[in-house]
Amino acid sequence: QRYFLIPILVSLVYPTYYEFKQLFRDGWGYFDDVQNYFDVLYIIVSLVNIVVQAIEGPFIIACKLMMMFILLIGLYKTFMFLRIFSSLSPIVNMLKNVIYDLRIFLTFYAILIVLFSLLFGILGVGNPNIEGGYKTAYEGYLADEESGYPGEEYKHIGIFIANIMVTLRMSIGDFSFDTATMLDTYENYIYWACWLLIVGVTCIIFLSFIIAEASASYEKVAASIEPTILSERAGLICEADEMIPS
């Protein structure tokens, strides 16, 4: 398995040469561009990952985290390089601008999800520390680990984060009512009232606002896409031209 480290190491030769050449050309001005920090991190983490894999193997948690980080940075760099192609450049620019324009809506959406998740925490949904059907099922699991229990997929992240994930899943229409069946009669009534509120506000109203805002942002970007594409391509051509040995 360690033979795969050789092509990984070879693949870092050109990016390392490219970044060092930019650094020597621009001096300290190299660090004025935020994107260069990601390029340097990509190289450093990749080298550390190779060393750790050679010593400890690829299956320890540190290697997995580094490989995930490298993959995400690689995805970002791939999108940036796709701007070279005229057919893909509009998509990359529109995606970047739409995500930026939605930052306020997404922040408000995250606040809604966290606050709504507290309703389930107060109600005790999926809480094995409260007397009831769920605690019975949980204790049965501890006695016989071959039989699962509702919400078992959240057992490692804690009740607070689990409620946030449940609420997030509700907001996008992914429903699971296993834990609700273990509440008593009155708590079940309250649960369904909370469910209607969460689905109505997040899934129906707020996601509709986000879709409308994304459409408006898309139209705004589309109106000025040609100058943006020409500017991006001119920047890439200028950068490539500066890297040609004189």
Region of 88 please: left (phi>0), alpha (psi -120 to 50) or beta: alpha
Mind listing the pLDDT tens digit for each residue in 138-177?
Answer: 777 666 665 667 777 888 888 899 999 999 988 888 888 8
Which long-range contacts (C-beta less than 8 Å, at least 24 apart) are formed by 177-181? 178/150, 178/151, 179/125, 179/126, 179/134, 179/150, 179/151, 180/125, 181/133, 181/150
Give the global pTM. 0.74
Least confident segment among 109-123, 164-178, 202-216, 231-245: 231-245
Q: Could you tell me the two tokens for 213?
A: 């805002």
Structure tokens at 81: 């390089």
Tokens of 156: 């490692």
Helix pair angle (89-101, 207-223), 10° resolution: 130
* Span 98-113, pLDDT tens digits: 778 778 888 888 999 9
Read off the pLDDT band of 66 (50, 70, 90).
Answer: very high
